[in-house]
Amino acid sequence: MPPDSSSSSPTQIQDQSRHRSLQLLGILCGFTAGAWLGAAEAPTKLVSIGVSPIVISLVMVVGVFLARWSLPALVLGTSSVRADIRRAPHLILWALLAGCLWAVANTLTIFAIRDIGLSIAFPLWNSNSLLGIFWGFLFFNELRQAGWRRWAGVLGGAAIMCAGATVLAIASASQSPSAHSLNGVWAALGAGVLWGTMYIPYRKAYLTGMNPLSFVTFFTFGELGMMSALAFGYIGISPLWHVLVQARGILFWLMLGGFIWVIGDLFQQYAAKYVGISRGIPLSNTNQLWGLLWGILVFGELHGKSHTTYLEVIGGSLLMMLGVGAIALSSATGKEQQHWKEASQRESERYGVSADYVAARFEGRQAAGEALPRRSAIDWLLVAAASAVLLVFAAMARVPQFSFHWAPALVLTATLLLLLFLCGRKLWRTTRFH
């Protein structure tokens, strides 16, 4: 039975109110993450010349690397990152693992799209949300004693979103499958398994109290290291350098895509922290919907297509929104929250992390006696260095010829900024970005 608020103590009522507030925050973060992750595709659409997909991925990861160090430095300062790492140094290993998983999964998706096309590949790797729900249940007590309605909401919502994503992928696909279709199926399934498993390190870090801004700064070393190793291994250092020099005019757009992607990913991390991976992953998977909106409205991608295609887009979008609604209405109850706390205490005891720190961070607060995050000269230096690198590549960039519709681009950009402002403000007011 859920606790009866009429007979609860004021502390219990305050706790319940805090949990509700954090759940709402997590849902808003998941939704904002989807919008920004989808928008990250926009700059990459400017790149239409024949550059190897591995090179495209590598350059985007360089932009990601710049953002993953400069944004945390700007928001809280690196002193906060150092303090988190001193408390839970073991999590560096999980951050590196997660980064490596991301890089391999991303490369697999490139091969999957090449071999079987987006329409088949996307639904296969989108299964990551179902695997995330399984890992969340198995390892981190998510959906324990949640009741059949919430199970139905989360599982049903994720399944409906998969169906919607499939319809959207069919509508937006323009590529014919190649002769290596079985390889493509394996690649897409593999990417889904890797991405679904990547959320184990995420959830472990956040149940241990680590700030998402701290986790991503180490995650990115795994990401860049693995992506560089794959690029050097598959292309070779000298040919890679040659390709980069040849393509210097477009590198900025790819790095910008990576930078925007990080903003979305940061919100995704906060969603994983406050609503768990079983709800956070499906919510941020709405990025496909936003990516398609940019493609159709700004880049005119479906121009001249049949009515059937437009019907598929509308139907797929409605299905995705229905799935999002089902998951958003299936927030964790008091009993499930108690199981999350038990998983959190288990991590604290196992790795000797202060119970006060873990409990406070679980509630989205600073622990008693914890120093307030402060920015130093190093932080401003990091921000200046990242901005300078982007400016150098911006100066080299050339704007390709393409069809671009300014009015919808401005509306979508305004929507993104509004979501960034609203979600950022709520994060600050509720958790001070913890």
Partner 1 sequence: MDQTNPSNPPRSRAATILTDIHFWVPAAVLLAGLLLLKFIH
CB of 405 to partner 1, least distance (A): 38
CB of 200 to partner 1, least distance (A): 5
Cβ-count burial of 399 within 10 angstroms (0-12 exposed, 13-18 middle, 19+ buried)? exposed
Selected range binding partner 1 among 147-155, 256-264, 343-351, 378-386, rule: CB under 8 A: 343-351
Q: Does 51 bind partner 1 (CB under 8 A)?
A: no
Residue from 82, 350, 425, 429 binding partner 1 (CB under 8 A):
350
Between 200 and 382, name the residue whose CB sits nearer to partner 1. Answer: 200
Between 99 and 364, name the residue whose CB sits nearer to partner 1. Answer: 99
Angle at 320 (CA atoms; ends 261, 326), nearest 5 degrees? 110
CA distance 117 to 111: 9
Q: DSSP character for 333?
A: -
Q: Does 87 bind partner 1 (CB under 8 A)?
A: no
CB of 212 to partner 1, least distance (A): 18
Q: Does 183 bind partner 1 (CB under 8 A)?
A: yes
Residue from 111, 137, 259, 290 binding partner 1 (CB under 8 A):
111
Q: H helices then E strands: how many in the chain?
A: 19, 0
CA distance 379 to 66: 13
Q: What is the amino acid identity at position 184? A: G
- Helix axes 10-39 and 406-431, enclosed angle (nearest 10): 150
Between 115 and 379, name the residue whose CB sits nearer to partner 1. Answer: 115
Q: What DSSP assignment string belongs to 50-67?
A: ---HHHHHHHHHHHHHHH
Residues 6+ apart with CB under 8 A from 428: none
CA distance 201 to 194: 12
CB of 45 to partner 1, least distance (A): 26
CA distance 294 to 313: 13
Q: Which of 229, 197, 201 is nearest to 216 (CA)?
A: 201
Q: Does 167 bind partner 1 (CB under 8 A)?
A: no
Selected range binding partner 1 among 68-76, 98-106, 265-273, 379-387, rule: CB under 8 A: 98-106
How many chain residues touch partner 1 (CB under 8 A)?
36
Q: Does 358 bind partner 1 (CB under 8 A)?
A: no
Residue from 2, 236, 325, 352 binding partner 1 (CB under 8 A):
352
Q: Does 89 bind partner 1 (CB under 8 A)?
A: yes
Q: Which two tokens stand for residue 77?
A: 């300062």
Residue from 29, 66, 104, 293 binding partner 1 (CB under 8 A):
104
CB of 124 to partner 1, least distance (A): 13
Q: Which of 240, 237, 200, 230 is nearest to 95 (CA)?
A: 200
Q: Does 190 bind partner 1 (CB under 8 A)?
A: yes
Q: Which two tokens stand for residue 294?
A: 């940019």
Q: Does 107 bind partner 1 (CB under 8 A)?
A: yes
- Say which residue the tokens 């989808």 belong to: 38
Span 265-284, contacts to partner 1 by CB under 8 A: none
Q: Does 236 bind partner 1 (CB under 8 A)?
A: no
Q: Does 151 bind partner 1 (CB under 8 A)?
A: no
- Say which residue the tokens 């090449």 belong to: 114
Q: Does 100 bind partner 1 (CB under 8 A)?
A: yes
Residue from 134, 139, 221, 404 binding partner 1 (CB under 8 A):
139
Q: Does 194 bind partner 1 (CB under 8 A)?
A: yes
- Helix axes 181-207 and 277-284, enclosed angle (nearest 10): 130
Q: Which of 73, 38, 66 is nearest to 377 (CA)?
A: 73
CA distance 99 to 30: 20
For the chain, what is the radius of gyration of the CA atoms? Answer: 21
Q: Does 108 bind partner 1 (CB under 8 A)?
A: yes
Q: Does 181 bind partner 1 (CB under 8 A)?
A: no
Between 180 and 426, name the residue whose CB sits nearer to partner 1. Answer: 180
Binding stretches for partner 1 (CB under 8 A): 89-90, 93-94, 97-98, 100-101, 104-105, 107-108, 111, 115, 135, 139, 180, 183, 186-187, 190, 193-194, 197-198, 200-201, 204, 230, 234, 345-346, 349-352
